[in-house]
């Protein structure tokens, strides 16, 4: 069974003066290198700092994808985490492919 496809949640969006919005918290699951992160954003400025290959670019790309007006349909197979790709491969190649094609793996 494949669980938790890519999930992005914006928690605590506040409307500021006029039409401005402020993101307070972002939760991302199974997007590229980001398996399960929960980020609380600061009031004025938030920095993304980390070593190479830790998910900084993935974090910015997922924000650009959803905030920039694109939708999840523009995602590709490469956008899923390695763990999720392995589960998908095992499910399709290892058990009942017909169940997968019917979409039962998403239930």
Average pLDDT over the chain, rounded to an integer? 69
Domain regions of the chain by residue span: 7-106
Residue 104 DSSP one-character state: G
Instruction: Please tell me which residue, 65 or 55, carries the higher pLDDT value.
Output: 55
Instruction: Please tell me which residue, 18 or 63, carries the higher pLDDT value.
Output: 63
Check if the beta carbon of residue 30 is closer than 8 Å to that of residue 4: yes
Cα separation, 57 vs 26, whole angstroms: 15
Mean pLDDT of 75-81: 68
Instruction: Please tell me which residue, 31 or 15, carries the higher pLDDT value.
Output: 31
* 32, pLDDT greater than 70: yes
Q: Which residue has the tokens 């190479």?
A: 52
Instruction: Please tell me which residue, 46 or 82, carries the higher pLDDT value.
Output: 46
Mean pLDDT of 48-74: 79
């Amino acid at each position: 069974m494949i669980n938790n496809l890519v999930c992005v949640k914006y928690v605590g969006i506040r409307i500021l003066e006029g039409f401005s919005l402020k993101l307070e918290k972002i939760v991302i699951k199974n997007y590229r290198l980001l398996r399960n992160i929960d980020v609380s954003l600061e009031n004025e400025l938030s920095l993304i700092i980390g070593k190479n290959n830790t998910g900084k670019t993935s974090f910015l790309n997922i924000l650009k994808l959803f905030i920039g007006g694109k939708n999840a349909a523009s995602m590709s197979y490469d956008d899923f985490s390695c763990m999720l790709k392995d589960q998908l491969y095992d499910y399709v190649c290892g058990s009942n492919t017909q169940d997968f094609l019917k979409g039962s793996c998403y239930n």
